[in-house]
Every structure is written in C-alpha cells, then in structure tokens.
C-alpha cells in the first residue's frame, strides 16, 4: 500500500452504498472493493466499517442476508435497497455540487475578486 489518504468525515456511508450498488458484498468484500476502486489510496479502519453497515441497514438503505462466500463459508451479504439507491443518488449529487463548488472556490485567483 502506498501513501494513503484519511477518509473524509461522513463519506464512509456514501462509499459503502456505492460499493454494494455494484452487487451484493459481505463486509470484508465491501472493504476490498472500496480499496480496489480507490487504487489502495484510502485508509479505512477495518472495524469501523461494521457500525456503519449496521447503521445503514438500520436506516433501511441496505439489506442483509446470510449466504455463501467464494471460499464456501457462511457470510453476511449486503445489498442496496430501493431507498438506498435513491439515497446514493441524492448523496452523489450533493457531493458533486459540493466538490465543484469547493473546487471553484479554491481556483479563485486575486484578479477575480
């Protein structure tokens, strides 16, 4: 693993929703997928993933089911629910607006004021 970036506060939920939107995953799978998509650049404390998963399930955005893993072991798989999909959509939109706003603010040069 190369140099890693600490996860921004409040973004873990969004990343989990994104990860499971691509197909059902167990907890470890969610971790691997996020690291894979981010090119191993994000530092996530492994244990903190689970309270987040439980919270999202509690809110009804993801659903869980026990199934069989690749190595034929019982594992709990999480998948996105319909409300979760809507949530991901609106979170993504919000994030994009916020990101472009912050970016445009940071691009500002003295002449533009």
Partner 1 sequence: MNLTRFRSWLKWIAKGQRLESEMEAEVRFHLESYAADLVRQGLSQQEAMRRARIEFGGIESHKDAMRASVGVRWWGELGSDMRHGLRLLRKNTGFAAVAILTLALGVGANTAIFSIVNAVLLRSLPFPEPDRLVKIFFNNPGTGVHGVLYSVPELDDLRNRAGVFEYVTGTERGSVNLTGGSRPERLEMLVSSPNYFSMLGATPQIGRLFGPPDFTPGFAPSVVISDSLWRRNFAAHRNVLGQTIRLDNDPYTIVGVLPPDFRNPGRTNSHDIEVWLASGFTAASDPEPTRGARAFPSAMGRLKPGMTLQQAQARLTAMAVEIRHDFPTDYPSENKWMIEIQPLQEALVGNIRPMLLVLQAAVILLVFIVSLNIANLLLARASGWQQEMAVRSAMGASRGRIARQMLTESLLLSLMGGAAGVALAVAMLKFMPRFIPSSIPRLNEVSVDWPVLAFALLISLLTGLVFGLAPAIHSTRADLSVATREGGRGSGYGVKTDRLRNSLAVAEMAIAAVLMIGAGLLLRTFRDLLKENPGFNPTQVVTARVNLPFPSDPSEDPYRTIVKQSAFYRELGHQLSAIPGVELAGFVSNLPAAEVGFTFALGIEDRPSNSGDDLRAKDFLVSPDYFKVMQAPLVRGRFFTEADEDGKPRVAIIDESTARRYWPDRDPLGRRLRMGTGAWMTIVGIVKDIKQDGLDVDAVPHIYVSIYQEFDPAEGYVFRDFSVALRTSLATSALEPQIRHQVQSVDPTLPVYDVASMNELLDRSLASRRFSAQLVGGFAGVALLVASIGIYGVLAYMVGQRSREIGLRMALGASRTDILKLIVTRGVVLSIIGIIAGVIFSVSTASMMASQLYGVRPHDPVVFLAVPLLLFVIAVLASYIPAWRATKVDPMLALREA
Q: How far is the CB of 68 from partner 1 (least distance, A)?
A: 11
CA–CA separation, 26 and 75 (whole Å): 6
CA–CA separation, 69 and 94 (whole Å): 34
* Window 30-69: contact mask with partner 1 (x via CB under 8 A): -x-------------xxxx-xxx-xx-xxxx-----x--x
Residue 76 interacting with partner 1 (CB under 8 A): yes
CA–CA separation, 111 and 25 (whole Å): 50
Query: With respect to partner 1, which residue has the nearer C-beta, 5 or 103?
Result: 5
Residue 49 near residue 27, CB atoms below 8 Å: yes
Query: With respect to partner 1, which residue has the nearer C-beta, 58 or 107?
Result: 58
């Amino acid at each position: 693993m190369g140099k890693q970036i600490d996860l921004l506060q409040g973004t873990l939920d969004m990343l989990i929703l994104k990860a499971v939107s691509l197909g059902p995953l167990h907890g470890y799978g969610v971790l691997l997928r996020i690291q894979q998509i981010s090119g191993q650049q994000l530092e996530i404390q492994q244990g903190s993933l689970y309270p987040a998963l439980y919270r999202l399930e509690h809110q009804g955005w993801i659903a869980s089911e026990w199934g069989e893993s690749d190595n034929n072991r019982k594992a709990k798989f999480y998948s996105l629910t319909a409300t979760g999909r809507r949530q991901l959509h609106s979170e993504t939109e919000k994030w994009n607006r916020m990101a472009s706003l912050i970016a445009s603010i940071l691009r500002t040069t003295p002449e533009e004021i």
